[in-house]
């Protein structure tokens, strides 16, 4: 058995864990909205047409804020299409996902649904095919109480209270050639700056997100961040990051180390932002909104799911409905660890996406809703990660990967709540075939006992939850925890994600 040692000291604080780290993302894509959160004819539909079983699962997941309505979809979206009487709303071609958008659900409906699930709305404006004026219009419609044409239209449409959206994304993935309205970093940066300054004339306290790179592997990565921030540094609060991971060529060793790549991505963006800060002589710190992240089998979309027939524009097709395995969930859990590890600079994040589309929650039209394997690391981490992220001292074996070189066999992060002394430790064993015995030095945390220790693992790392068998994979109590004076020792199964709480 491999052995590792971890030291926890609450005096070494990285940063405060913000609730917005546990956000998600709903795009008008596939069955995320239609047949996902909204299905009026379903037996569990509430009077507004929302699936109550999905609402309960979203609450259980612990999602804090939800980015909407895109994604690639937003760069061709006209927000006005989604408000007012439903029978008067136009049907439009969605060029991003080669579908037909019915506009049955729009801003008012989604804000209403968010009140049911208890999440904050994070809204993306269209800077692909539109611009400053449209951003001002949707801001006025959403946030001004009344007394103007657009705010009174919202009231007349059945939303008397403002939606009070505080966080706004200035476009989506504008570095990507696939994006409607794609341009250079200079062009986007100037448009984002103009839009941000105009929106702040309405409300100076808005929180604004500029588009960073859609991947650390884009050819413009680094240059894009630097140029956009040189144009927008005084106008925005966040630069965004997006990252997706999948196993390539059966290389599960590298796949399990995906969190190493995310760490490097974040560190690079932080370094670039701080360079711009220094060059400008600014006292302002730029934060990161990691507003798209997940395991996503993009190769399947490109090879199987992509719709290309110019005569075929389906409504809510089955797109990007990845079925997640145990190994996917373990990688997913390590990505969460990476986000929490950078709590000093990553203060908002959005799991992409929430229902059916590369999602922790799946539904069947007219049928049940169930939890994918990735549901469990998210729900538990959202519930337990409180207080401060701690800087850890981890001694463990390494292993070689084709993509990332030598990486630690164990991945770990810990949070500590000073008011209660409650400590949560999140752990991943990346080994494909060996257990790891981990000793955790807790000597500086007097009187701690193990409250719970749960692990997600399986003898078959490709095991999944499906419509037919919905609970094949779940969290199970791990009874290996042993407490001695000043230490806790636990056993981590191969390819596993675990959560340990000390109180």
Do 165 and 27 have their domain in common?
Answer: yes
> DSSP character for 51?
B
* Tens-digit pLDDT profile for residues 176-187: 999 999 999 999
Question: Whole domain around residue 76: which residue ranges?
Answer: 21-384
pLDDT for 432: 97
d(CA 239, CA 232): 10
Do 278 and 379 have their domain in common?
Answer: yes
d(CA 395, CA 409): 10
Q: Is this model's pTM higher than 0.95 or not? A: yes
Name the β-bridge partners of 428. Answer: 411, 497
391 among known catalytic residues: no
Alpha helix ranges (H) inside 385-436: none
d(CA 334, CA 377): 9
Do 321 and 207 have their domain in common?
Answer: yes
Give me the helix-helix angle, 132-143 and 149-156, nearest 10°.
Answer: 50
321 among known catalytic residues: no
pLDDT for 485: 87
Alpha helix ranges (H) inside 281-347: 298-300, 326-341
d(CA 308, CA 284): 46
User: Does the residue 14 lie in any domain?
Assistant: no
Do 404 and 306 have their domain in common?
Answer: no
- Residue 325, pLDDT > 90, answer yes
Instruction: Respond yes or no on whether the N-terminal peptide bond of residue 466 is cis (omega within 30° of 0).
Output: no
Quote the tokens at residue 454: 């749960």
Kindly report the number of other CB atoms within 10 A of residue 145's CB atom.
13
Domain edge (last residue) among 384, 407, 431:
384
CATH assignment of the domain containing 438:
2.60.40.1180
pLDDT for 245: 98
User: Does the residue 15 lie in any domain?
Assistant: no
Do 378 and 423 have their domain in common?
Answer: no
Q: Which of 207, 257, 267 is nearest to 67 (CA)?
A: 207
Do 361 and 450 have their domain in common?
Answer: no
Domain edge (last residue) among 384, 407, 433:
384
3-state secondary structure of 462: coil
Are 282 and 229 a contacting pair, CB within 8 Å? no
d(CA 104, CA 201): 32
Do 260 and 305 have their domain in common?
Answer: yes
Do 330 and 421 have their domain in common?
Answer: no
The length of the chain, given as a count of residues:
503
d(CA 141, CA 163): 9
Domain edge (last residue) among 384, 419, 435:
384
Share the mean pLDDT of the chain. Answer: 97
Task: Tell the burial category of 495 from Cβ atoms under 10 Å away from its Cβ (0-12, 13-18, 19+).
Answer: buried
Do 324 and 458 have their domain in common?
Answer: no
Locate tokens 């990735």: which residue? 374
Name the β-bridge partners of 205. Answer: none
Count of domains for the chain: 2
Question: What DSSP letter does each residue of 80-147 carry, written as one string?
Answer: GGGSS-GGGPPPEEETTTTEEE--SS-HHHHHHHHHHHT-EEEEEE--SS--HHHHHHHHHHHH--SS
* Tens-digit pLDDT profile for residues 20-34: 999 999 999 999 999
Mean predicted confidence (pLDDT) in 296-316: 93
Do 374 and 432 have their domain in common?
Answer: no
Measure Cα distances from 242 to 66, 159, 178, 427 in Å: 15, 33, 15, 23
d(CA 340, CA 424): 12
Q: Which of 216, 178, 217, 175 is nearest to 192 (CA)?
A: 175
Q: What is the CA radius of gyration of the chain?
A: 23
- Which listed residue (39, 173, 225, 231) is catalytic? 173
User: Does the residue 275 lie in any domain?
Assistant: yes
User: Does the residue 352 lie in any domain?
Assistant: yes
- Residue 446, pLDDT > 90, answer no
Mean predicted confidence (pLDDT) in 289-294: 98
User: Does the residue 423 lie in any domain?
Assistant: yes
- Residue 366, pLDDT > 90, answer yes
Locate tokens 């030598």: which residue? 406
Q: Which of 128, 113, 124 is nearest to 76 (CA)?
A: 128
User: Does the residue 395 lie in any domain?
Assistant: yes
Are 388 and 10 a contacting pair, CB within 8 Å? yes
d(CA 481, CA 35): 43
User: Does the residue 16 lie in any domain?
Assistant: no
3-state secondary structure of 421: coil
Do 360 and 477 have their domain in common?
Answer: no
Kindly report the number of other CB atoms within 10 A of residue 469's CB atom.
11
CA 369 and chain centroid, separation? 20
CATH assignment of the domain containing 119:
3.20.20.80
Mean predicted confidence (pLDDT) in 340-350: 98
- Which listed residue (292, 312, 364, 439) is catalytic? 292
Confidence band, pLDDT 50/70/90 cuts, at residue 447: confident
Do 365 and 482 have their domain in common?
Answer: no
User: Does the residue 134 lie in any domain?
Assistant: yes
């Amino acid at each position: 058995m491999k052995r590792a040692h971890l030291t926890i000291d609450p005096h070494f604080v990285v940063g405060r864990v913000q609730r917005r780290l546990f956000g998600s993302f709903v795009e008008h894509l596939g069955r995320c909205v239609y047949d996902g959160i909204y299905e009026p004819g379903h037996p569990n539909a509430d009077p507004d047409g929302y699936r109550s079983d999905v609402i309960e699962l979203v609450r259980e997941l612990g999602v804090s804020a939800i980015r909407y309505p895109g994604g690639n979809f937003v760069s061709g979206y006209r927000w006005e299409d989604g408000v007012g009487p439903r029978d008067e709303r136009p049907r439009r071609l969605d060029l991003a996902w080669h579908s037909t958008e019915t506009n049955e659900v729009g801003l008012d409906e989604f804000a209403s649904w968010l009140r049911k699930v208890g999440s904050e709305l994070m809204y993306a404006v269209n800077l692909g095919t539109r611009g400053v004026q449209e951003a001002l219009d949707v801001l006025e419609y959403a946030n001004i109480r009344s007394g103007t044409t657009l705010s009174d239209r919202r009231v007349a449409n059945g939303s008397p209270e403002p939606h009070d959206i505080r966080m706004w994304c200035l476009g989506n993935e504008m570095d990507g050639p696939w994006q409607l309205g794609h341009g250079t970093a200079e062009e986007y940066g100037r448009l984002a700056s103009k839009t941000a300054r105009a929106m702040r004339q309405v409300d100076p306290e808005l929180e604004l997100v500029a588009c960073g790179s859609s991947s650390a592997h884009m050819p413009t990565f680094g240059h894009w961040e630097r140029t956009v921030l040189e144009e927008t540094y005084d106008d925005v609060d966040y630069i965004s990051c997006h990252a997706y991971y999948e196993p390539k060529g059966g290389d599960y060793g590298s796949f399990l180390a995906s969190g190493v790549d995310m760490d490097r991505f974040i560190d690079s963006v932080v370094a670039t932002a701080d360079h711009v800060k220094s060059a400008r002589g600014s006292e302002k710190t730029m934060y990161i909104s990691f507003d798209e992240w997940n395991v996503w089998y993009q190769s399947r979309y490109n090879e199987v799911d992509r719709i290309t027939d110019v005569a075929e524009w389906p409504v809510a097709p089955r797109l990007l409905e990845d079925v997640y395995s145990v190994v996917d969930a373990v990688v997913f859990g390590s990505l969460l660890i990476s986000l929490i590890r950078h709590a000093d600079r990553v203060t908002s994040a959005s799991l992409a996406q929430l229902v059916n589309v590369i999602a922790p929650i799946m539904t069947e039209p007219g049928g049940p809703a169930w939890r994918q394997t990735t549901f469990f690391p998210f729900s538990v981490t959202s519930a337990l990660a409180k207080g401060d992220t701690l800087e850890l001292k981890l001694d463990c074996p390494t292993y070689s990967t084709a993509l990332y070189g030598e990486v630690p066999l164990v991945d770990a992060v810990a949070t500590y709540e000073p008011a209660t002394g409650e400590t949560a430790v999140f752990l991943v064993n990346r080994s494909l075939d060996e257990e790891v015995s981990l000793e955790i030095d807790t000597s500086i945390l007097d009187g701690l006992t193990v409250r719970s220790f749960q692990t997600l693992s399986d003898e078959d790392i490709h095991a999944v939850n499906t419509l037919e068998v919905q609970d094949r994979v779940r969290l199970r109590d791990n009874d290996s925890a042993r407490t001695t004076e000043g230490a806790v020792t636990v056993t981590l199964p191969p390819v596993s994600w675990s959560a340990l709480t000390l109180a």
